Amino acid sequence: MPTALIAEDEPMLKAQLKARLAEAWPELAIVAEAENGEEAVMLAKEEQPDVAFLDIRMPLLTGLDVAKAIAGGPHVVFVTAYDEYAVEAFEEGAVDYLLKPPTPERIAKVVARLKARLGTPPADLAALLARLAAREVPGATLKWVRASLGNAMRMIAIDDVLYFQSEDKYTKVVTADGDALIRKPIKELYDEIDHEQFWQVHRGTIVNLRAIAKVERDWRDQPLLTLKDRSEKLTVSRTFAHLFKAM
């Protein structure tokens, strides 16, 4: 029975990847799950899985660091929100890549390639990893939001934002402590935030994945998000419903 390690620090994305893999490759046993890079290296050496699904951006060690540390062991699949990393990794000889959130179609292609390569030595990623490590890993440029709260100005850490919602010429910034307004359009804001942490769920709504307590379905079978620190629920539009299909 083939075995796998999943290294992903975001619980919702990890659960989605596991669900997609269970559908496409029922025989695959997930023998280890890591929440950071150091844990991924330790578990890979202990469990010796056939395949390692590595998030490129993780705490402590990146997926690139992990791949280097476990070279010669499992076949590596990079999981990333960044097309340029994924495409380069694939073209330069990595087993494959998955863009977040993984689609059933892409998962099926990855599984087919992995099945064909099991039993053969994993690809040598040394040259590729060196090139990627030399580049700046793309990430969020926005760390703080400067928002209006009445006549006062408030600095809000991006990690404290539960969700953003478009309101006419403004964007509402919602935290556990209350709401504030910024003048930046939500489309412009989306280009500046971390797409692994924040997902757009509606034309006018962007939600922090870490703020989601539960995903349900409404009477139209559309995803409905319950937040950890707020009473309101957010409806996911049909355009973005596929992001939560495996949940």
What's the pLDDT tens digit per position in 139-170?
Answer: 546 788 888 777 777 889 998 999 999 987 88
pLDDT confidence of residue 11:
82
Q: List the one residue out of 25, 7, 212 whose CA is nearest residue 111.
A: 25
Pairing mode of beta strands 152-157, 144-149:
antiparallel
Mean pLDDT of the chain: 85
| Residue burial 38-69, b: 16+ Cβ < 10 Å; e: rest | bbbbebbeebebbbbbbbbbbeebbbbbbbbb
pLDDT digit string, tens, across residues 18-31: 999 999 999 999 99
pLDDT confidence of residue 91:
65
Residue 231: how many CB atoms within 10 A of its CB? 6
**233 pLDDT above the threshold of 80:** yes
pLDDT confidence of residue 86:
61
**Mean pLDDT within 52-74:** 89
**Mean pLDDT within 31-54:** 95
pLDDT confidence of residue 122:
85
Distance CA 239, CA 247 (A): 16
Distance CA 232, CA 56 (A): 33
Residue 109's region, left for phi above 0, alpha for psi from -120 to 50, else beta, is alpha
**Mean pLDDT within 226-233:** 89
Distance CA 67, CA 52 (A): 9
Tokens 């049909």 correspond to 238
pLDDT confidence of residue 166:
92
* pLDDT band of 81, cuts 50, 70, 90: confident
Q: List the one residue out of 186, 187, 206, 204 whose CA is nearest residue 196.
A: 206
pLDDT confidence of residue 8:
92
pLDDT digit string, tens, across residues 177-195: 888 889 888 888 888 888 8
- pTM more than 0.75: no
Distance CA 206, CA 193 (A): 10
Distance CA 48, CA 40 (A): 11
Largest distance between two CA atoms of the chain: 66
**34 pLDDT above the threshold of 70:** yes
**247 pLDDT above the threshold of 60:** no
pLDDT digit string, tens, across residues 169-178: 889 999 998 8
**85 pLDDT above the threshold of 90:** no
Indicate the residue type of 208: N
The domains found in the chain, sorted by start residue, are 3-133 (3.40.50.2300), 144-244 (2.40.50.1020)
Give the relative orientation of helices 11-24 and 104-117 as an angle to the nearest 10 degrees.
60
